[in-house]
Amino acid sequence: MTELSYSSYLQMETLLSLQKTQIPETADRDVILAEHFFIVAHQSCELWLKQVVADLSLAGDLLSSPYRPADEAETSVELLQRAAELLRVLHEQVLVLERLPLRHFVQFRPYLGTASGAQSQQFQVLGRLMGDGSEESELYRAFVENAAHQGSTVADVCRLGIAGGGLHRVAEALLDVGNGYWRWKVAHLGLMSKMVGGQQGTAGTSGEEFLMRRITLPFPELRRLRGALHAEELAPSPA
């Protein structure tokens, strides 16, 4: 059996050979390197997305499982918190892409064809977990089911605060994930506006307008129920 090394464990030879630029080799080296940077950034995002989707999927499975040991709620909190931190990393990845010079981007962009981040299958899976658009969030549905199994409701969890125990920690972690997801999408919109302006997206989308329509805060019902506490606090006490 071959001894495992750092390189073989991470399959470094394969990993470092996956950046295939499309602009002709006759282009200036700085332009070729800019496209290489563009590829590395997107491949890194897809790797982090793989972990985020896996963590959130398991968190949802643990919350919706018919058998719910007490420690599974805490495990789901750990997974949600890790996913929230990774969404911060993804946000930083977008900010790093702002270091791509526009003069270089306009030279290699025509060679991207119809390739677009909107085609990312992992991003679409993440959207279903988060509840993009009119779809119900798979994660939030699992949380509601878990609360019901414990004889509670999300409204009760919001009202109890830290007295809600594990369910409260899940709710807080969900909001951390939701806010991280929203910030990531806003940063992407800012990058798109800076680099492309009013031009169409590479896959034929409307560009800025396409992204703006898809920026919504996840878990709106959880946010509404938390906000309702303000009205309850301000309501006059019974005589």
Displacement of CA 132 from its chain's centroid (Å): 11
> What is the structure's pLDDT at 214?
76
CB-hemisphere CA count at 13 Å for 107? 20
CA–CA separation, 86 and 89 (whole Å): 5
Q: What is the pLDDT of residues 7-32, one digit of tens each?
A: 999 999 999 999 999 999 999 999 99
> Among 117, 223, 232, 214, which Cα is nearest to 178's?
223
**How would residue 99 be classed by pLDDT, with cut points 50, 70 and 90?**
very high
Task: Return the C-alpha torsion angle 23, 27, 31, 34, nearest 10.
Answer: 40
**How would residue 59 be classed by pLDDT, with cut points 50, 70 and 90?**
very high
Q: What is the mean pLDDT of residues 201-211?
A: 64
pLDDT at residue 198 greater than cutoff 80: no
Domains and CATH numbers, the chain: 26-109+121-219 (1.20.58.480)
**How would residue 118 be classed by pLDDT, with cut points 50, 70 and 90?**
confident
**How would residue 133 be classed by pLDDT, with cut points 50, 70 and 90?**
low
CA–CA separation, 159 and 182 (whole Å): 25
Which tokens is 81 given? 């918190």
Instruction: Kindly report which listed range (64-73, 156-165, 186-195, 202-211) carries the lowest average pLDDT score.
Output: 202-211
Rg (CA), the chain: 22
Is the CB of residue 184 less than 8 Å from the CB of residue 94? Answer: yes
What is the identity of the amino acid at 121?
Q
pLDDT at residue 117 greater than cutoff 90: no
CA geometry: angle 82, 87, 91, nearest 5 deg: 150
pLDDT at residue 236 greater than cutoff 90: no
> What is the structure's pLDDT at 201?
61
CA–CA separation, 58 and 64 (whole Å): 10
pLDDT at residue 134 greater than cutoff 80: no
Is the whole-model pTM more than 0.85?
yes
